[in-house]
Chain A
Amino acid sequence: MNEMPPSPWIHIGECPVCVNGLCRVRTCTVEAGSAHFYAMCDECEALWLTPNTDTPFSFPDSCDPKCPICQQDLYGQQAHWSLADELRGSEWMSNAIFDVPNLDSLAPDSLATLDDDTNYGQDDSSPQ
């Protein structure tokens, strides 16, 4: 799966468990086409079903991680970091943080670094 990172970064804040992780919103789709949302720390994989890190969280099985809502593969083709359009009309739209990259991050001296790192957040579940 070659999913580009969404822009802006959509999250519900920093992770209360591992501190540096970002609790990013994910979209998962069932076969019928309806989407559901949850937040996942992109470091420790803590999961939230509501857009508030003060609410209870859980962890997926580290060997066989599943979507906390539909139990499909957590990193399957049907799931990805959310795009803003997908969240319209949901409680996530009004509660999530839409972090637009700073304009100074597009200064010439940082462009090379950004170009080199466009894969961050890819859902590549292929064996390494």
Chain B
Amino acid sequence: MIGKRTLATGSPRPFPTKWTVGLIALLIGYALLQPQLNKRFGWQLPSLSSLQQHEPAIPHSSNAATDEPLRYGLLRETASDDFISPGGLRYTRGSAEGHRLKHLERHLQDDPDRPGKHGVFNGDMPQVLRWLDEAYTLAKRGGNGTKKNEEDGRTVYEVGFPEPVGYIGGREGRRDNHPDARHIRLVVDGNKVITAFPF
């Protein structure tokens, strides 16, 4: 035990300065290189800050009530491949990609070859899902900066945000130098998400 050892030796042996300096240099080097290595090689090295927070590496957290994992730390799976958000939006199978969440992921990156506009979100999936909940709550309330249009069972909500939530990609976005997008268009069938993207 450390206490015993301290008593036996009188005082703890000081940590050599050169080791301390070396360790700090190592940590600084890791902090600088970690994002570059991940980007360059597609690795998933954790950042120093995430190591300090002891967060799980996978995008799941725990639902205290049921102790079931939450998809992206937010969505509770109510049936197979059927997820519900804290704001009450449902994400189910569907779309050409097979699942609405997969379709949504298409809007996390640009598609520069696509004719017209392609809305690209700035954040990652958890951030996007939180924005969609926010947009859904605001739009249902019908507040300022929101629009609602119903078409044969589909509802199209448009919600303005004070800050950019993404940018305009696709061919038209590229031609216009990728302008900021400060609105979200959310298409739902009841509470089931069909698609959502920034514009």
Contacts and interface: CB of A to CB of B under 8 A. Distances in A.
Interface of A: 9, 11, 14, 17-22, 42-46, 57-59, 62-63, 65, 75, 97, 99, 101-102, 105, 110, 113-114, 116-117, 120-128
Chain A residues touching B, majority SS:
loop
A128 B101 contact: yes
A52 to B, nearest CB: 17
Contacts of A63: 92-94, 192
B154 A123 contact: no
Nearest to A116: B109
Contacts of B99: 127-128
B98 A128 contact: yes
B197 A43 contact: yes
Given A44-B156, A121-B96, A22 B195 contact: no
B145 interface: no
B194 A44 contact: yes
Given A62-B94, A113-B110, A22 B156 contact: no
B73 interface: no
B134 interface: no
Given A122-B97, A125-B98, A99 B115 contact: yes
Contacts, number: 104
A101 B113 contact: yes
B76 interface: no
Given A62-B192, A120-B106, A123-B96, A113 B185 contact: no
Interface in B158-199: 171, 174, 185, 187, 189, 192, 194-195, 197, 199
Interface string B83-99: 00000000011111111
Contacts of B110: 113, 117
A43 B113 contact: no
B94 to A, nearest CB: 6
B96 A127 contact: no
B77 to A, nearest CB: 12
A18 B97 contact: no
A31 B197 CA distance: 37
A117 B116 contact: no
Contact of B115 (A22, A114, A116): A22
Given A14-B116, A62-B94, A102 B185 contact: no
A14 B101 CA distance: 23
A62 B195 contact: no
Residue of B81, B114, B199 ringed by the most chain A CB atoms within 10 A:
B114
Contacts of B109: 113, 116-117
21 contacts: A17-B151, A18-B185, A19-B185, A20-B116, A20-B197, A44-B156, A45-B194, A46-B154, A58-B152, A59-B151, A62-B194, A65-B94, A113-B112, A114-B113, A116-B109, A117-B109, A117-B110, A124-B102, A127-B98, A128-B93, A128-B99
